[in-house]
Amino acid sequence: MTYLAHTPQHGPAMVHEMDRVRIVRALRQRVRYRYVQPHVERADEGGWVIKSPCCSRNVDPTGGVIDIAWVEPTEGAWSLYFKDHVHERWVLHDESRHLQPLLDEICVDTMRVFWP
């Protein structure tokens, strides 16, 4: 796990609707907070942002919608970020040539990095 704040150095990456569908489908298999409905939207910086109501109320005491993860396509790979809610920044968590291993990390999240 790399703890570096992300500052985009490039323009928006190419995103495909089919990738959003894959992310939505994978989220149905998540371990944490299965009773809320996360949603996936295009990120301004490129890629997809996963958002969900804050069930634990650790980040938002009112249970509002918070950022969970950002998956960004890069040249020949994917980057996965989690949101540092204290400092309001995205932090690089992992990279992979394939999207599925990163989606598995989001869905299992044993360390509660994505679903605080």
What's the confidence (pLDDT) of residue 13? 52
What one-letter code names the amino acid at 25?
Answer: R
Share of the chain above pLDDT 70, in %: 89
pLDDT in tens, 9-31: 444 457 889 999 999 999 999 99
| Residue 82 structure tokens | 């989690």
AA identity, residue 39: H
Mean pLDDT taken over the chain: 87
Question: What is the C-alpha separation between 10 and 90, in angstroms, rounded?
Answer: 15
Domain ranges of the chain: 17-108
In degrees, to the nearest 5, what angle opens at C-alpha 26 toward C-alphas 101 and 83?
A: 70
Q: How far is Cα 87 from Cα 101, in angstroms, rounded to an integer?
A: 27
Q: What is the mean pLDDT of residues 36-58?
A: 90
